[in-house]
Structures are given as C-alpha cells and as structure tokens.
Structure 1
Amino acid sequence: MKLIKLDAIDSTNDFLKALASQEELDNFTVVTAENQIKGKGQMGSKWQSESGKNLIMSALVKGFLFDNEQVFNLSIVVSLAVIETLKSLDISDLSIKWPNDIMSYNKKIGGILIENTLKSDGRIVSVVGLGLNVNQTNFTELPNASSLSVISGRTFDKDVLPFLITEKIEQKIEAWKTNSKVFWDEYFNSLFRKGVPMPFKNLQNQNFMGIIQGVSPVGKIQIMLEDDSVKEFEIKEIQMLY
C-alpha cells in the first residue's frame, strides 16, 4: 500500500481521481488529509470534520469491478471491511445504514463515498472515500453523529487506521472471488434497523411506514410497505427517520 499524506485538501477523492488520470498508480494507493475543505457525501451532500481529529482517506481500487451492474459489490466489501476493523478495536453495536453509513448504536460515525470511472479499455477504476469520526468529541451541530472516542471513552491513533482498513479491503476482495454470497448475507445481517417497522420520508416529503427487507443486486433498498407490497428505492429517493 502506497500512502500519500496531505495537510489540507478540497477533497481526497478529487485529488486521487486527478492523480490516477495523470499516471498509473499502484492498486490500493491511499490518500489521507488532516483537513478536507470540500468533503463530499452521497449525492453531493457535505461531510463535515474537525481538523486533525478524524480519518479522511481515499483508496484506489482496480481489478475488482468489471460491469456497471456490479458497482454495489464494492460498497458491500468496503463497509464490511470498516465494520470488521472497528470490531477489532472494540467498538460496540456496529451496523450499516443503507447504503454505506457506518453506525454505532443509533449514531453515525462514518460515511463512504465510492466514485467509479469507466476507462476506454472497459476497466472500472474506483476511488473509495471514507470519512470516519475518530477523536472528535464535539457534535453540537451534528446531533445524529458520534465518534470512536465518544463511544469508547478513549483516544485512538488514527494514523494506523488507513493501513488496517485497506488491508481488510484487500483481504475481502480476494475472498469475494470464492464466495460472494457470504458477503451479501453479512451485509444484510449488518443493516441498521432491518426487519423492524420504522418511518421513512419520500421525495414528496410524505412520511410512510415500512420494513427493510433487503437490498437488490444493484444496491436499491427493498422496503415492505403497509399494504405488504415490496418497493425498491434508489439512494436519496427516501430518507430514514430515526
């Protein structure tokens, strides 16, 4: 793993994408930053992080995705790799809020943003962005957020986390080749609030009750509605109210 450490940057994802377009980088090249000025979340939402306290990283992944219909597979691999790493650090009650927010109890501690580029030769090159709240303790403006430090009551060496997480991603990508079904099962079993009635909001700002049933092969969430029908939703088509 090649590591590029930066002080402040607009976006580690944008930096790594630009670098990868200029030169042939090693697989699993990682960029980290102490401060990210224009951090991004899913569908253009902002990722806020206190400078120097948290993990901000992007990793280059090549040779895993070969079809646009498979892109959600990488979300599964990465989110499970993060969960497994955090379990090894004794972080409790971990789950994945669809599609790939990392939760502890009912608080968000991390978010993943994967951006894929289709090359002229048909290859798909992915930049995996991860923001993980590590040692930040002030979340006054983010009531639904928390951090490893708040949850565990201790301070972490965030500089070792990129190595632990990237190693786990590599291991899971290799293991995916022999038994991908295990990963889908593990992802579903790790889903936040699966199988319990809970409120959602749709694009028309209408609230409705539903039960998470699963996730489709292309990453749409499957929700059973009050009439017992099951409907699939894209990212940002619905908001989970919790």
Structure 2
Amino acid sequence: MAPPGSGLCLSLGWRFDSPPSSISALSLVVGIAVVRALERLGATDLTLKWPNDVYHVNRKLAGILIEMRSEFSGPCIVVIGIGLNVALSPDARARINENATDISASSGFIPSRNLVAASVLDELVLILQDFASSGFHPYRSQWERHDYLSGRRIRLEMPARVVRGVARGVAPDGALLVEHGGMIEPFIAGHIVMETDP
C-alpha cells in the first residue's frame, strides 16, 4: 500500500468493436503511452521492461495490469490498470521489495497527480484509438528504442519450463524474443529474472 500522495493508481475501461489482431501486444502500447505522457512532463531516460513495466535508470517507476473479456466475433472489453510512483519518501522506498523510483527523480520536480493522470489518459486514448485499426506494427520501433531488456542476459520462468538466454527485442505480435541454444524463440508469457546486473 503506497503512502497517501506518493503514487497514482488509475484504471481505464476501453471497448474495441472486435479484438485487434495484435491484442497480445496491448500492454506494450500502453507502456509506450505512459512513456510519452511522462516525457511530456519532463521525465527522461525512461525504458520499458517487457511486458508491463516502466523503468527509469534501472529502477521501476510504473506497472501495468490488463484484464480482458471478449467474445469470438464480438466486442472486446479491456480494463487497463496503471500504478505510478509520483513522489516516494525515503521510508516508502525502504519498504518496497524491489528497486523503485518515482516521477520526481526522472523529471526533477514533483508534478501534481492530476496533471500526471490527465497526461497519461490523453496519451492512452490516442494510442488505443490507433491500435484498434493499426495494431502494434507502428509502435514496434518505439518499443525497441526504449527496450530495457534488449541485449541483456535473462532467465524466463514459466510453469513447465525455464529458459536462459539473451533478450533480442520483440516480435511483430509483441512476443519477447529470446536467443538461446543457437536459435531465437518468441515467448508470450513468463516471469523475467535478470541474469546479470544491468
């Protein structure tokens, strides 16, 4: 539980008339929208960790969670949840299990949470409208420019398998590409552990 005023948690419900062809990449384009919004507010050195985290200088700044309900040939309803650290106190940082940072560290000032929410929602609406018709393709190069994992040694943990290798970007459908055993294989899910310090 974040201390009062230290973070921003927001949810957006969105209806696609039919599931976009690259719906598996939705969390990636949402991450791009968050990066754009924060850059508008002066944040720098932001990266995206597949599939749903925003980082600043090797520390987690924001996380994304998406729930989806769709029918075979009907509408697709998604609820996009975003949690952003705005201004964490030293005590709050000490209580968090993982390396965390906040918007004030990435931008040099503490923006109002209303301003952050408005900026994020503006970018989300723009990107979701385009994603419905264009898919992930127009955003893949933007993801690659901000890709936190690219070229790093990782361990991908899945229920029935563990893969160790080097992250090699994302596929056209948003799957993580991992080079291992002399090949590059796409993965659509799994827990990532860094094998070496960034």
- Per-residue deviation, 1:147: 0.5
Q: Within the alignment, does 1:105 sit opposite 2:61 as a pair?
A: no
Rg (Cα) greater in structure: 1
Aligned residue in 2 for 1:19: none
Contact 1:137 1:149 in 2 (8 A): no
CA RMSD for the aligned pairs?
2.7
Q: Within the alignment, does 1:144 sit opposite 2:99 as a pair?
A: yes
Gaps of at least 5 residues in structure 1 are 1-47
Between stretches 140-149 and 84-93, larger displacement belongs to 140-149
Instruction: Point out the structure with the larger strand share.
Output: 2
Q: Name which structure has the greater RCO, CA cutoff 8 Å, separation 6+.
A: 2
Amino acid in structure 2 at the alignment position of 1:183:
Y
Query: TM-score scaled by structure 2?
Result: 0.82
Alignment counterpart, residue 224 of structure 1, candidates 179, 185, 190:
179
Aligned residue in 2 for 1:96: 48
- Per-residue deviation, 1:57: 0.3
Query: TM-score scaled by structure 1?
Result: 0.68
Amino acid in structure 2 at the alignment position of 1:163:
A
TM-aligned CA distance change 1:94 to 1:237, over 3 Å: closer
Query: Deviations along 1:32-79, whole A, 9 cap, x unmatched?
Result: xxxxxxxxxxxxxxxx42232211000011126525x53224223211
Q: Within the alignment, does 1:161 sit opposite 2:161 as a pair?
A: no
Gaps of at least 5 residues in structure 2 are none
Aligned residue in 1 for 2:4: 51
Query: Deviations along 1:164-185, whole A, 9 cap, x unmatched?
Result: 1111112123344358522122
TM-aligned CA distance change 1:135 to 1:193, over 3 Å: same
Instruction: State the distance in 2 between where 1:104 and 1:197 align.
Output: 16
SS at match of 1:62: strand
TM-aligned CA distance change 1:118 to 1:151, over 3 Å: same
Amino acid in structure 2 at the alignment position of 1:172:
I
TM-aligned CA distance change 1:211 to 1:169, over 3 Å: same
